[in-house]
Amino acid sequence: MPLNDEQNSDGDSSRFSESAASSSDSEYSRQSFTSDSSSKSNSPASTSPPKVVTFDEMMAAARNLSDLSLVHEIAVNENFHLQRMEHPQNCLPGRVRQVVHKAFWDHLEKDLNEDPPEYEHAIKLFEEIKEILLSFLNPGANRMRSQICEVLDADLIRQQAQHDAVDIQGLANYVISTMGKLCAPVRDNDVNQLKATGNIVDLLRQIFHVLDLMKMDMINFTIQSLRPHLQRNLVDYERTKFQEILEETPGALNITTEWIRESIQDELSSVSCEASSSSGVDGASKPNLSPTLVLTNSYLKLLQWDYQKKTIPETLVTDEGRLRELSDKLNQLKVIACISLMTSNMVGAAIEGIPDFGDKQKRISFVLLDGMNKKTFDLKEALAAIGLQTCSEINQSLTERGFPPLNKEVHSNLVGQICNITEEDNPISSLIDKRIQLYMRSLLASPCLQKSMPTIPGGLAVIQTEMEIIGSQFANIVNLNKQVYGPFYANIFRKLLFNEAVTSTADTDPSTN
């Protein structure tokens, strides 16, 4: 339809429909689909001049990255689907769209109210409706295809219009009937409501609205159908696509190289310190490093990454949103574990007789810490509220059991300690952080998470369920990333550890060393 915001999706719908091939004409119906509706640059040692990247190469790399990101999201995100975007009417794009659309439909109404009526604009709309309906059909639906083409034949309608014999309402009714046969069950109500629309202009406008929804249904159904195939071929596809990006943009691994370099330097420093402190051996000799260990340390850094200020490594761009979400959740769990440990250490005897106190305190903490990773969130205030609520729950239970409430000093100390979680180098916070890192490291080293989860370290029992969920999600991201980008990481390790020039991806995968 002219002025339709999503007219570009018509071609996509047509292509997508071809993937749901059917051999019989009966499968054109709804059974054909259902829907629920700043880094350092590190280039290899070389005497050749740097490659000049042209604009076309940059655009090709951008397209490859876009394709890679979309395929990755479809494959790993079971809930991925497309939605029709609506601009709010109070914003400029929304107002412009509203004004332009109103002008178009007003002009159509004026044409149809002339004596004799002017049908050309209406005929063009029916031409577009025909193409949209045809895009929904499977290749085998020949009878329905022929019927649509026959009834919505623009040349025939123009001939009828010349003799003032065109039945616009009859054509609209046929379209509605056909939409009812082709739509997903979720659209039944939308299609039925079209039958109650009396004004022909309003009816045509609503027909296009429902057709837009049906296009999104078809696309999302096709996405669901393609997901198993994409999952089976994801590793090879992503690796090949990223190699194309690397060839078009030679600096596409600069941030990843620096990310791994930092972990190598951290490991070298750690090994040197241990060697010199234990035996006094000269740290000048270069120890043998395990690429697997270094890569694991690199992945663990992503859980404490400053996503607001630091750019994520290029090889993890497709999972940035998931990693950021896991990092945010882990920060919240860390605070909750600190609160629980501090409370237990200070008033352990007082809470012994309170049934499910730990779970109740956790629920309160989750509520009051909701949104804690937003810039506007006042963590200190939230912690003070948690401390006061904790003391209130304890005092109420003590009173009910005939014991005196917490004295003012204990009350003040507990609230103060909980508030001090935000302080840098807080010992409880540092301890919990180390144990979370230890648990995540053990997850990444575990050969089979489906059979058994690693033992939860002390102090994390209160958040064990949440830690196991987050840990499994993180391990899945890491394991897939290793499979896809292992050869690229191997090249980086050879360059950084052995000063080898890298010319292409290698077969060596550090995740298997």
Cα gap 184→213, rounded to integer Å: 10
Whole-number pLDDT of residue 428: 94
Cα gap 16→32, rounded to integer Å: 12
Indicate the pLDDT class of residue 9, thresholds 50, 70 and 90.
very low
Indicate the pLDDT class of residue 26, thresholds 50, 70 and 90.
very low
Indicate the pLDDT class of residue 249, thresholds 50, 70 and 90.
confident
Average pLDDT over residues 233-247: 89
**Bigger pLDDT: 22 vs 176:** 176
Cα gap 435→463, rounded to integer Å: 12
pTM here is 0.69
Whole-number pLDDT of residue 506: 42
- Distance, first Cα to last Cα, the chain: 58
Cα gap 94→87, rounded to integer Å: 5
> Backbone phi, then psi, for 311, in 5-degree steps?
-80, 135
450-485: pLDDT as tens digits: 667 889 999 999 999 999 999 999 999 999 999 999
pLDDT surpassing 80 at residue 29: no
Percent of the chain at pLDDT exceeding 70: 78
Cα gap 472→468, rounded to integer Å: 6
Record the tokens describing residue 284, joined without a space.
């000048």
Cα gap 263→368, rounded to integer Å: 36
**Bigger pLDDT: 334 vs 43:** 334
**Closest to 497 (Cα-Cα) out of 290, 259, 193:** 290
**Closest to 260 (Cα-Cα) out of 490, 440, 506:** 490
417-457: pLDDT as tens digits: 999 998 988 999 999 999 999 999 999 987 766 667 889 99
> Backbone phi, then psi, for 210, in 5-degree steps?
-70, -35
Radius of gyration (C-alpha) of the chain in whole angstroms? 31
**Bigger pLDDT: 418 vs 226:** 418
Cβ atoms of 497 and 295 within 8 Å: the answer is: no
